[in-house]
Amino acid sequence: MENATVNSNACGVMDGSLPGSCANLAFPYIPMQNMNAQRYDAADALAAGTLFPGLNLPFFKAVKSRMNTDNTALCELMALGFAINELGLYLDTHQTDQEALNLYTRYVALFNDGRTRYEAAYGPLQQSAVTEAGYTWLSDPWPWDYAGGKK
């Protein structure tokens, strides 16, 4: 077996280099997110695409343009829904994080309250939410019926 040219900062035979340290070769790993991970508020989370600053990893060299979320009732609901989604995934693997659970409970309550008020004003979000106006589920606009340049 030939010796490779010795590198002054080489790691052991079984190791490769990581930034600042050495680690076993050929062992990919994903570090576990800490308990009580730092969080954005719901609106910033929706804009960043993640609830957690630690997971906010914009694509290399990509121009970071924040999603412009208008301050409408629907956007508020979307922000809460997104935060609930993210917290739900986090709680799946961190079920003993009491603070996250409290926040989850609070966001769900806010979301349900917001949905009731939204539906009273703008129509149903779910098919089963029949309002006084009758069966308005099929009324436009559907959120994905959006054409470029037109509202």
Partner 1 sequence: MFVYEKRLQYPVKIKNTNPKLASLIISQYGGPDGELGASLRYLSQRFSMPYPELKGLLTDIGTGASKRPLSKT
Which parts of this chain interact with partner 1 (CB under 8 A)?
46, 49, 67-70, 74-75, 77-78, 81-82, 85, 88-89, 92-93, 95, 123-126, 137, 142-144, 146-149
Minimum Å gap between C-beta 56 and partner 1 is 15
Nearer to partner 1, 16 or 54 (CB): 54
By the 8 A CB rule, do 66 and 48 touch?
A: yes
| 36 in Cβ contact with 100 (< 8 Å) | yes
Would you say 70 and 5 are in contact if contact means Cβ atoms under 8 Å apart?
no
Tokens of 126: 């779910």
Residue 116: CB minimum distance to partner 1, A: 13
SS (H, E, C) 118-136: HHHHHCCCCCCCCECCECC
Rounded least distance, CB 69 to partner 1, Å: 6
Residue type, 16: G
The smaller minimum CB distance to partner 1, of residues 22 and 125, is found at 125
Closest to partner 1 by CB, 16 or 88: 88
**Type and span of the H or E element at 16:** strand 15-18
Our CB check for partner 1 shows the closer of 34 and 95 to be 95
Least distance in Å: CB of 11 to partner 1? 32
What's the residue count for the chain? 151
Is omega for the bond preceding 141 within 30 degrees of 0, making it cis? yes
Output 1 or 64, the one with its CB closest to partner 1: 64
Q: Nearest distance from residue 75's CB to partner 1, in Å?
A: 7
